[in-house]
Amino acid sequence: MKIAIASGKGGTGKTTLATNLAHLLSQKFPVVLADLDVEEPNSGFFIKGEKIQEKKVFRMIPEWDQDKCVLCGNCQRVCKFNAVIKLGEEILVFNQLCHGCYACSELCPQNALPMTSYEVGKITEFRQNDLHFLEGRLNVGEEQAVPVIKETINFAEKKFAPGILRIFDAPPGTSCPVIEATKDVDYIILITEPTPFGLYDLKLAVEVMRELKKDFGIVINRHGIGNNDVIRYCKDERIPLIGKIPNMKTAAETYAKGGLLSETIPEIRNALEKIIDNLRTLEVLS
């Protein structure tokens, strides 16, 4: 079973829910938690485990071999991303723009653009008892998050038995990084705030999940602030509301220090237990 925790709006509690849920569940059975918010990975502040290994993530990009090149310009013609440019007597490759499609390289009549690997991020594996934690991290300056997300998911697939529960802490938004993090999961929890910003971005996230034909439920974080529009929306749209995490300043303070709310705040622990019960009723968890 694979569960992703996502949200349209940033800062609604994805990491809080992912880390606390993973930690609670790992007291019952083994769990893999993967931080796929690779642009700004934060789960590691809350899960303190023993570091098992670190693996660099590479992307393949073409590298110009001047000696072989006859400057025919075919590479520039086939590249749809303006990543390969012929400038005078030179071929320039812009790494950031390259999508790694291999067209320029494989269609070069002189083999003058062999593909080489290029580091774009890393994956770190930690272990805390029965909680296996993977952090995907994009190097600063790299624009494309998707390759690192993909590699982190692949790492989890290869390393852990298929029967082990996987929880993904997804990136915010509604574009390609979120799609990559959620497209192959079995269930998605959308977490939101009961505010106009929260609701508006939640609706966008719901549209994405429906487009992907995914099964999903909603958790309200900071329940008590704002208004009841999110609850009404869930009813109108017949989306299961699987939990409400109360709004408490102590939660913000505990989060600030990297503390797990389930450990120190009984009200929040109860809310999380209830989410687990609801996931069982929905047969997302056994």
Question: With respect to other proteins, which residue has the nearer C-beta, 30 or 100?
Answer: 100
Question: With respect to other proteins, which residue has the nearer C-beta, 80 or 238?
Answer: 80
Question: With respect to other proteins, which residue has the nearer C-beta, 39 or 125?
Answer: 39
> In the bound complex, what is the minimum distance in angstroms from residue 197's beta carbon to other proteins?
4
> In the bound complex, what is the minimum distance in angstroms from residue 136's beta carbon to other proteins?
13
Q: Which positions touch other proteins (CB under 8 A)?
A: 8-12, 15, 39-40, 42, 45, 78, 80-81, 99-103, 106-107, 138, 140-145, 171-177, 179, 183, 193, 195-197, 200-201, 204, 207-208, 211-212, 225-227, 249, 252-253, 255-258
Question: 97 with 82: CB under 8 angstroms?
Answer: yes
For residue 69, what are the contacts with CB-CB under 8 A and spacing of at least 6? 91, 110, 112, 113
| 101 CB neighbour count, 10 Å cutoff | 15
> In the bound complex, what is the minimum distance in angstroms from residue 59's beta carbon to other proteins?
11
Question: 131 with 22: CB under 8 angstroms?
Answer: yes
- Token duo for residue 201: 């971005």
Q: What does the chain come to in residues?
A: 286
Question: With respect to other proteins, which residue has the nearer C-beta, 38 or 167?
Answer: 38
Question: With respect to other proteins, which residue has the nearer C-beta, 119 or 211?
Answer: 211
CA distance 90 to 69: 9
> In the bound complex, what is the minimum distance in angstroms from residue 172's beta carbon to other proteins?
5
> In the bound complex, what is the minimum distance in angstroms from residue 105's beta carbon to other proteins?
10
Question: With respect to other proteins, which residue has the nearer C-beta, 43 or 165?
Answer: 43
At what angle are helices 196-211 and 229-237 packed, to 10 degrees?
A: 20
- E-strand ranges in the chain read 2-6, 31-35, 50-62, 84-87, 90-93, 115-128, 131-138, 165-169, 187-192, 216-223, 241-246
CA 208 distance to own-chain centroid: 15
> In the bound complex, what is the minimum distance in angstroms from residue 247's beta carbon to other proteins?
8
